[in-house]
Amino acid sequence: MTAPRTAVVFDADETLVDLRPAVTGALVAVLEEMRRWTPAAAEVSLADLEGDWGAVFGALSAAPVGEIRRAALARSLTRAGLDAHLDEFAALFFARRYALSRPFPDVLPALAALRPHHLLGFATNGNSRAERCGLDGRFAFALYAHEGGLPKKPAPAFFAAVVAAAGLPATRIVHVGDSPEHDVVAAQRAGLRAVWLNRAGLPRPAGLEPDAEVSTLAELPGVIAALTSANA
C-alpha cells in the first residue's frame, strides 16, 4: 500500500470539538457545588464564572490552557470565600468538561471519508484530548501545545512540529481550523495550505486568503480532493 501523499491536520476546539456546551456544563456543575458548600455563593452567577475566564486570559494567554482555567476558577472561588478549595473544584470542572465533550455531528463522517486517502493529524493549543472527546483512534498523530516544550499556535515551531510529525513536505499538508490567525495565516506562513472552517458564516477578515473556506466539514473531502489534485 502506498503512503498517503497528503496530510490533513485539524485544530481541535470549535473545529472538531463542540467546546462551548462542555465548558458551560462544567461551569454549571462548579456553580452548583459552590452553592452547596456555602450560602455566599448564592450571589455568584454563571455569567460571573464565564467572565472570570476573560478577566485572566489576557495576562496568561501564552500559558497552558489548564493553567488559565485554574486561574479563572480561582477568581470565581474567591467570590464565595472558597479560595482554599481550588484543587477540588478544578477536578470537578475538568471531569464534567471531558464528560460533556463531543465532536460536532459533521466530524466523524468527514474523518471517515478522508482517512483512507490521507494522513490525518490532530494539533491543538487547548485541553481537548482526542481520546477524551470521542475522537480516539482517528489520527495518525496528535500534538498538544506545551507538551515537550511545544509552543502554542501561531508560533512557527508549532507548525514545524506538525510538518515533522506528518513526515511530508509542508506543501503536502492542509491545516483545517476555525481561527483566521492561528489556523490560516500562521499555517500558510509556515508553508502549509489552510482551510478556514467558518461555521458561523462570518465575514472574511480583510487580507485573509485561505486556500479554501468551508461552512461545514461535510464539504471538506471534496475541497481536499480539489486541492490535492490541483497540486498533484
Considering only CA atoms, which of 163, 119, 154, 117 is closest in space to residue 139?
119
Residue type, 132: R
- For residue 146, the SS3 value is coil
C-alpha cell at 120: 490525518
Q: Which pLDDT does position 232 carry in this prediction?
A: 55
Q: Kindly report, residue by residue over 46-56, the tens digit of the pLDDT.
A: 999 999 999 99
Q: Which pLDDT does position 228 carry in this prediction?
A: 85
Percentage of residues in the chain having pLDDT higher than 90: 94
Cβ–Cβ < 8 Å for 53, 68: yes
C-alpha cell at 202: 462570518
Helix 19-37 with 86-99: angle, nearest 10 deg: 140
Q: Which pLDDT does position 230 carry in this prediction?
A: 63
Q: Which pLDDT does position 72 carry in this prediction?
A: 98
- The whole-angstrom separation of Cα 160 and Cα 62 is 18
C-alpha cell at 105: 455531528
Q: Count CB-CB contacts under 10 A for residue 86.
A: 16
- For residue 194, the SS3 value is strand
Q: Which pLDDT does position 231 carry in this prediction?
A: 61
Q: Which pLDDT does position 2 carry in this prediction?
A: 57
C-alpha cell at 25: 456544563
Considering only CA atoms, which of 181, 131, 126, 146 is closest in space to residue 14?
126
Q: What is the DSSP track for 71-110?
A: HHHHHHHHTTT-GGGHHHHHHHHHHHHHHT--B-TTHHHH
- Low-confidence stretches of the chain (pLDDT < 70) are 1-4, 230-232
Q: Which pLDDT does position 98 carry in this prediction?
A: 96
